[in-house]
Amino acid sequence: MTDHIDLEQSLHMYQQMAKIRAFEEQVNELYKGAKMPGLAHLYTGEEAVAVGVCEALQRDDYITSTHRGHGHCLAKGARVDRMFAELLGKEAGYCRGKGGSMHIADPDSGNLGANAIVGGSAGIATGAAMSAKMRGSGQVAVCFFGDGAMNQGLLYEVMNMAQLWKLPVIYVCENNLYNEYTHNNETTAGELSARARAFGMCAEIVDGQDVHAVYVAMQRLVERARRGQGPAFLQCDTYRYYGHHVGDINRAYYRSKEEELEWRTNRDPLKILGNWLIGNSLTDQSVLERIEADVNAEVESGVAFALDAPYPDVSEVDEDVYA
Amino acid sequence: MPDRELTFAEAIREALAEEMRRDPRVFILGEDVAEAGTPFKVLSGLFEEFGKDRVIDTPISEPGFSGIGVGAAMTGMRPVVDIMFGDFLGLVMDQVANQAAKVHYMSGGKLRVPMVFRTTMGATRRSAAQHSQSLHAWVSHIPGLKVAIPSTPYDAKGLMKTAIRDENPVVFFEDKMMYKLKGIVPTDEYTIPFGVADIKRAGDDITLVATSSMVQVALGAAEMLKEIGIRAEVIDPRTTLPLDKHTLVESAKKTSRAIVIDEGYEQYGVTAEIASVIADGAFYYLDAPVKRMGALDVPVPFSPVLEDLTVPTEQSVFEMAKMLCGK
């Protein structure tokens, strides 16, 4: 942990992580209660990555997200209630119910959209960075993707161009070890970050459970991108507590309960930050509990809003095919 | 308005140049588009006028630069992405069909992708199976895209300007064999709206619906048909998506017979869609089933004697029309 991050910022990051945690627990309940249609890919356990990365961004910086994207959207500034509404296919959702869990987009907070094609948004993020450079806007773009996307060719094509053209894009690899249901030691040759270095790209590896570490590294990479020094690759080692999606219950054939317990117990991003804050006498347990109570209340009222919200009118089915 | 003759390639180039002068957000991205001006030299001179920041050479990474085009379009630019051969659409289909085409709808209308994928089509250039296909039916299948398929220099310029100004992703097909085709192009500003077919030749005995290079084939066949007293109407849809169903149906109602001629594969092709539209809209007016003439359903062969068999010709269209008219 670094110590040059002020208390207010740390508490904000704690609050953001707690909000994502509470949001995802509620998604799990909605899904199990058959109130949520479709698929749900929970981000629980990976909160420090989204929050550490987005804390280093400004509101008009861009992100692109993944099928496991709820955390990215929230960290970038999306509202809980409209996110739930989208997950339930309601009119009040960010995409008026047409995107769902895997396609939430919110241009107002710089979110160019979650993408259900693994690695599919690498081009979009790189193009957003190119556009920012052409317009001289000073914005940066962040491309979130998992370790599974490291075997998609698109990623390497755009990393090559980003490095050639010094585009302000940061490729954030959330290495949660599993490509859906398969450990990445069965799918991925060599070191993840070495692939970025092969392009001459600045590449760093951080503990993705330590939000301060993610934030500090990201701040550095964002600053150099804004200075015109080009793209970077940030590997964040993390872990998803649940399965690939909520229906992935029996996981013993690909990972052990002991491994899951170890991460939950000793590598939890909320506990790590909370312990640091308390251990350094910067705050006490009651402050953290109040933050958690506040986000729980926000999440509960967000769910209630979404459950009560109307579905889109059927006349909207063929709206927005064309702009 | 003063007119002059331009080639198809010159008309495309002029449209791009005018739009780039008009709108600083327009830029070109693709393989060998800059100094080389593409292998077909369609873009010659643009690099010299607009420079390396707006006419941008890419690595040979079609999915990558197509995706970059999508992202740039979503964030305030208006890219024209050059896919050198239509066959390479196979490489970029995720970016075209899953990303560009769906962003606007999936975002509930909040994001848009104003970009053009310029690409080529057309056989009979001895380029063999991976450089000769006409894959406009592939992209015409996907909601959210628009697909332009011009047949003359005039249409090419007007449709390209419309494509660049459109708020949606447009796939623009240029037949390689037509780049040297000459035609009248006004010097005054004009655009051609999408979804408006053009009657290339009026007639009332049979309707020949033809696309891209097949328009010239149909016009040649119509000339031959005139010799035997059959007046053929030649309709060019100009865009397959959106498709001007009204003009197609009205023509078939008038003539009571129709042949659809297109250079894409016949199976599941553009001809099937158009034939179905006519059959549906003009059923009680038809004196014969709507006939389809597309490319032979084989990978395009290299050998000239084989390749020439794969596409409809003036003679084959003439024969089909003659048969359909009972002559």
Q: ipTM of this predicted complex?
A: 0.95
How high is the pLDDT of residue A5? 78
Optimal mutation site among B20, B25, B65, B68, interface A, most CBs of chain A within 10 A: B68
**Number of other residues whose CB lies within 10 A of the CB of residue B5:** 11
Active site residue B136: no
pLDDT digits (tens, 9 = 90+) for A92-141: 999 999 999 999 999 999 999 999 999 999 999 999 999 999 999 999 99
| Percent of chain A at pLDDT exceeding 70 | 99
Please work out, in degrees rounded to the nearest 5, the angle formed at the alpha carbon of residue A11 by the alpha carbons of A10 and A17: 90
Whether the predicted pLDDT of A4 surpasses 80: no
Mean pLDDT, rounded, for A148-154? 97
Sequential pLDDT tens for chain B (327 residues): 678 999 999 999 999 999 999 999 999 999 999 999 999 999 999 999 999 999 999 999 999 999 999 999 999 999 999 999 999 999 999 999 999 999 999 999 999 999 999 999 999 889 999 999 999 999 999 999 999 999 999 999 999 999 999 999 999 999 999 999 999 999 999 999 999 999 999 999 999 999 999 999 999 999 999 999 999 999 999 999 999 999 999 999 999 999 999 999 999 999 999 999 999 999 999 999 999 999 999 999 999 999 999 999 999 999 999 999 998
- Closest residue by Cα to residue A67 from A42, A92, A85, A91: A42
Residue A142 host element (H or E):
strand A141-146
Work out the number of other CB atoms within 10 angstroms of the CB of residue B127.
17
Q: From the CB of residue B35, how many other CB atoms can be counted at a distance below 10 Å?
A: 12
Verify whether the Cβ–Cβ distance B70 to A322 is below 8 Å.
no
User: Which site among A130, A165, A315 would you substitute to test the B interface, given the most B Cβ atoms closer than 10 Å to its Cβ?
Assistant: A130
Q: How high is the pLDDT of residue B238?
A: 98
Lay out the sheet containing B55-57: strands in order across.
B55-57, B26-30, B78-83, B116-121, B170-175, B146-148, B239-241
Q: Which residues in A have their CB inside 8 Å of a CB on B?
A: 62, 64, 93-99, 103, 105-107, 112-113, 115, 117, 120-132, 134-135, 141, 153-154, 157-158, 160-161, 164, 319-323
Nearest one of A73, A234, A66 to A152, comparing CA atoms: A66
Give CA–CA dist A124/B67, Å, rounded: 5
State the smallest CA–CA distance between residue A176 and chain B in angstroms: 25
